[in-house]
């Protein structure tokens, strides 16, 4: 399988090259030249398999330059004992025709682990194949990617990882997860600004000639762990197939029945993976795109105009606080007949004017595939309250946005087909809003861990051990920089400073 770029028709690379580079030199995103298909018979076979085996089958045609053995090693290593659920991505039933696909049982308690436990392994194999030197993984995070990347890449030989997060844009638990990160090849820095500032800064560093030259002098090269990297997206396709098979196995649907997926969306990575599953032949009716108060995607899918010039809201579902949704570029490329010129024009218009409009025909295609809805703060809280009261199911705020948008979809369309909501994070990562939605007013001054214990006691649900283990850990990364200083942070950040030799452990005092 060869990979194309969304912005340059001359680009053609292998999967390994696409994964190592992360983003194409001219700024386009890589994507496979064709979409492999899964026949109904193959789907039936998948139903008899474990999660690991399903993932191997789904990924194999995308990673045709990997040997079966290499792929098996990567996948088995990724989905092992570090997941708290042996099914890896189990379903939980909410009501008669609604199921939750729990993607948060990995080490950092968000769905990002589903990809970021696998990506470092794919990247290590890819780096060997392409002869890449040491890789610097630059990450912009809206909260969950950062920790999942740090955990996935910590002490992986031949890599260093540097994470930028918005100083005011993450939950206290998300921040604690990152600033206490251990490992000899990691760095973390807060950026004064929002996620879009961090993401734009990282994209600029990626293509800055002077920075690239300085890296090359030291035999270092950039790669990305954001969902702009195809190696982040591909692993996510597998769980849509897996959820479908599980529904067949428990008798909720028959093989061939169409189901709807609801995806709490920010950067459009997770829902794009669902689109790929649909194009591969998974019987999916609608892909329901759920946004929070930052409803740029809802407006786009409804109107055909993408307009990022609007107020940015900091919400209780911070991992979806995004106005520039990177992976939409891949979808538009596919739906516009792989027209690199038009894509480049739209992306230039987005950068220069903050907006672009797609032609009516393309808007119609989008609306056949997707239904979009958004959910404000009060409705998010109400959805947490309701699912707990009526279904005894505890949602985190991101998942609650999905649950509420599904309610809106059913009310608007009357389509009551079986639906699966992607449950993207553990409620214990967002204890304050979840406790408040349950009617508990946290006393001022209670720390995150007391609150987590309180939530566990109120709901008789266990707090994930990975979160409890953060209690008392020293803050190793207190640094905050401005947008303009991100390049500087690259060279000077404790632990993450890329000039350091990977195999020399830094003395603990270095961090203080
Ligand atoms: C990242 C994230 C999302 C948004 O996913 P995208 O792939 O960026 O659309 C939703 N919920 C949670 C908890 C996340 O961490």
> Residue 239 C-alpha to ligand 1 middle, in angstroms?
15
User: Which residue in 2, 86, 112, 129 is the catalytic one?
Assistant: 112
| Residue 264 beta carbon below 6 angstroms from any ligand 1 atom | yes
pLDDT attached to residue 199: 85
Domain ranges of the chain: 233-434
pLDDT attached to residue 493: 54
> Residue 110 C-alpha to ligand 1 middle, in angstroms?
8
Residues in Cβ contact with 133 at an 8 Å cutoff, skipping those fewer than 6 apart:
158, 219, 220, 221
Separation of alpha carbons 330 and 487, rounded Å: 27
CATH match of 233-434 with 3.40.50.1100: yes
> Residue 165 C-alpha to ligand 1 middle, in angstroms?
14
Residuewise pLDDT in 10s, the chain (512 residues): 999 999 999 999 999 999 999 989 888 999 999 999 999 999 999 999 999 999 999 999 999 999 999 999 999 999 999 999 999 999 999 999 999 999 999 999 999 999 999 999 999 999 999 998 889 999 999 889 999 999 999 999 889 899 999 998 898 999 999 999 999 889 999 999 988 889 889 888 988 899 999 888 888 889 989 888 999 999 999 999 999 999 999 999 999 999 999 999 999 999 999 999 999 999 999 999 999 999 999 999 999 999 999 999 999 999 999 999 999 999 999 999 999 999 999 999 999 999 999 999 999 999 999 999 999 999 999 999 999 999 999 999 999 999 999 999 999 999 999 999 999 999 999 999 999 999 998 888 888 999 999 999 999 999 999 999 999 999 998 889 999 889 888 876 544 444 443 333 333 322 22
Separation of alpha carbons 90 and 404, rounded Å: 21
Question: DSSP string covering 208-257, please?
Answer: -HHHHHHHHHTTEEEEE-STTSHHHHHHHHHHHHHHHHHHHHTTSS-TT-
Dihedral of CA atoms 61, 64, 66, 71 in degrees, nearest 10, equals: 10
Instruction: Map residue 154 onto helix, strand or coil.
Output: coil
Across the beta sheet with 30-32, what order do the strands follow?
Answer: 13-14, 2-5, 30-32
CA 399 to ligand 1: nearest atom: 11
| Residue 54 beta carbon below 6 angstroms from any ligand 1 atom | no
Instruction: Map residue 261 onto helix, strand or coil.
Output: strand
For residue 473, indicate whether it is catalytic.
no
76 within 8 A of 52, measured Cβ to Cβ: yes
Q: Identify which of 199, 260, 160, 241 has the alpha carbon closest to the alpha carbon of residue 494.
A: 160
| Residue 267 beta carbon below 6 angstroms from any ligand 1 atom | yes
CA 142 to ligand 1: nearest atom: 1
Instruction: Give the single-character DSSP code of 110.
Output: B
141 within 8 A of 164, measured Cβ to Cβ: yes
pLDDT attached to residue 502: 35
Please choose from 101, 171, 233, 265 the residue to mutate so as to test ligand 1's pocket, defined by most ligand atoms within 8 A of CB.
265
> Residue 506 C-alpha to ligand 1 middle, in angstroms?
33
Model's pTM, two decimal places?
A: 0.94
pLDDT attached to residue 381: 98
| Residue 151 beta carbon below 6 angstroms from any ligand 1 atom | no
pLDDT attached to residue 492: 67
| Residue 270 beta carbon below 6 angstroms from any ligand 1 atom | yes
Separation of alpha carbons 149 and 116, rounded Å: 6
Please choose from 229, 232, 266 the residue to mutate so as to test ligand 1's pocket, defined by most ligand atoms within 8 A of CB.
266
Q: Identify which of 83, 219, 58, 205 has the alpha carbon closest to the alpha carbon of residue 151.
A: 83
Which residues partner with 137 through β-bridges? 161, 223
Q: Identify which of 221, 350, 371 has the alpha carbon closest to the alpha carbon of residue 290.
A: 371
Please choose from 29, 298, 319, 328 the residue to mutate so as to test ligand 1's pocket, defined by most ligand atoms within 8 A of CB.
319
């Amino acid at each position: 399988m060869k990979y194309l770029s969304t912005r340059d028709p001359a680009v053609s690379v292998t999967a390994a090259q696409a994964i190592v580079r992360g983003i194409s030199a001219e700024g386009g995103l890589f994507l496979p030249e064709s979409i492999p298909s899964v026949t109904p018979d193959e789907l039936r076979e998948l139903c008899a398999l474990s999660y690991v085996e399903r993932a191997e089958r789904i990924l194999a045609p995308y990673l045709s330059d990997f040997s079966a053995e290499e792929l098996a090693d990567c996948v088995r290593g990724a989905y092992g004992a570090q997941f708290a659920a042996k099914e890896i991505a189990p379903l939980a039933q909410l009501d008669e025709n609604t199921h939750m696909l729990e993607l948060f049982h990995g080490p950092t308690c968000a769905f990002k682990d589903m990809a970021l436990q696998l990506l470092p392994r794919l990247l290590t194999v890819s780096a060997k194949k392409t002869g890449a030197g040491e890789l610097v993984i630059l990450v912009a995070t809206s909260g969950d990617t950062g920790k999942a990347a740090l955990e996935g890449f910590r002490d992986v030989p031949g890599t260093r990882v540097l994470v930028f997060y918005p100083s005011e844009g993450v939950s206290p638990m998300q921040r604690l997860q990152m600033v206490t990160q251990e490992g000899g090849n990691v760095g973390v820095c807060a950026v004064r600004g929002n996620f879009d500032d961090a993401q734009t800064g990282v994209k600029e560093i990626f293509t800055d000639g002077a920075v690239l030259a300085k890296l090359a002098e030291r035999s270092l090269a950039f790669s990305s762990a954001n969902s702009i990297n195809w190696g982040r997206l591909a692993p996510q396709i597998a769980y849509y197939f897996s959820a479908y098979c599980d529904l067949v196995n428990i008798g909720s649907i028959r093989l061939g029945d169409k189901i709807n997926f609801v995806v709490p969306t920010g950067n459009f990575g997770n829902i794009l993976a669902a689109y790929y599953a649909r194009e591969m032949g998974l019987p999916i009716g609608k892909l329901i795109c759920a946004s929070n108060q930052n409803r740029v995607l809802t407006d786009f899918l409804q109107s055909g105009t993408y307009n990022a010039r609007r107020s940015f809201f900091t919400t209780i579902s911070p991992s979806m606080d995004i106005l520039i949704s990177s992976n939409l570029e891949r979808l538009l490329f596919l739906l516009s007949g792989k027209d690199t010129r038009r894509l480049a024009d739209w992306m230039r218009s987005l950068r220069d004017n903050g907006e672009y409009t797609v032609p009516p025909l393309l808007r119609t295609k989008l609306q056949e595939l997707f239904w979009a809805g958004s959910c404000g703060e009060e409705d998010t809280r109400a959805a947490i309250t309701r699912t707990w009261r009526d279904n005894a199911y505890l949602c985190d705020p991101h998942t609650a946005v999905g649950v509420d948008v599904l309610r809106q979809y059913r009310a608007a369309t009357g389509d009551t087909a079986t639906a699966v909501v992607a449950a993207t994070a553990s409620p214990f990562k967002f204890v304050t809003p979840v406790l408040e939605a349950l009617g508990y007013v946290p006393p001022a001054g209670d720390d995150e861990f007391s609150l987590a214990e309180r939530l566990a006691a109120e709901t008789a649900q266990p707090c994930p051990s990975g979160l409890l283990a953060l209690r008392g850990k020293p803050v190793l990364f207190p640094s905050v920089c401005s947008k303009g200083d991100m390049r500087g942070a690259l060279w000077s950040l404790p632990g993450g400073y890329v000039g350091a030799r990977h195999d020399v452990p830094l003395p603990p005092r270095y961090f203080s």
